[in-house]
Amino acid sequence: MMESKKEKSKKDWERILTKEQYQILREKGTDPPFKGKYWNHKDKGIYYCSGCGNPLFNSETKFESGTGWPSFYKPIEIDNISTKKDVSHGMERIEVLCNRCGGHLGHVFEDGPQPTGLRYCINSTSVNFCDLCCDFSKITQNFSK
């Protein structure tokens, strides 16, 4: 089993995350469209969970969805995320969560491009981008404390 799955308390998360991150990741908030830092971001690299540093999406699978949120047609590893039926706000959607820390990432819809036909609609606040030459330890150092 993953040792990293240890539960953090509300207090721990409030200390680790910014106010915005806490609201999205832990309270299932949503970035306003066309406002997040990554919706129009085109650099090559990896998007990591901003709650725990879990690698989630590769820029190669990012596409222009026109929705105002970063959109990907597949995660780096299917096991790095989990999905859950979400019936909030009078809609039936599939919620996407980080499989390591349980943070809320966004939703997945079945209107994406091939090869998967899926559209992972992800909040910019839920991820941190790291280009291919950045120092990954900088992203993870906050999470080991």
Residues marked active site are found at 121
- In the window 3-42, what residues touch Zn ion (CB under 5 A)? none
CA-to-CA distance for 113 and 132, rounded, in angstroms? 24
Structure tokens at 109: 């819809």
Among 46, 52, 76, 118, binds Zn ion (CB under 5 A): 52
Beta bridge pairs of residue 96: 83, 106
Applying CB under 5 A, the span of 48-56, 66-74, 106-114, 127-135 interacting with Zn ion comes to 48-56
- In the window 54-113, what residues touch Zn ion (CB under 5 A)? 54, 98, 100-101, 103
51 binds Zn ion (CB under 5 A): yes
- Choice between 102 and 113, CB closer to Zn ion: 102
127 binds Zn ion (CB under 5 A): no
Total residues in contact with Zn ion, by rule CB under 5 A: 8
Parallel/antiparallel/unpaired status of strands 55-58 and 127-131: unpaired
H helix runs in the chain, sequence order: 10-16, 19-21, 136-140
Q: Are 46 and 129 in contact (CB under 8 A)?
A: yes
Which residue from 121, 98, 88 is spatially nearest to 8, judged by alpha carbons?
98
Task: Summarize as ranges the residues that interact with Zn ion (CB under 5 A).
Answer: 49, 51-52, 54, 98, 100-101, 103
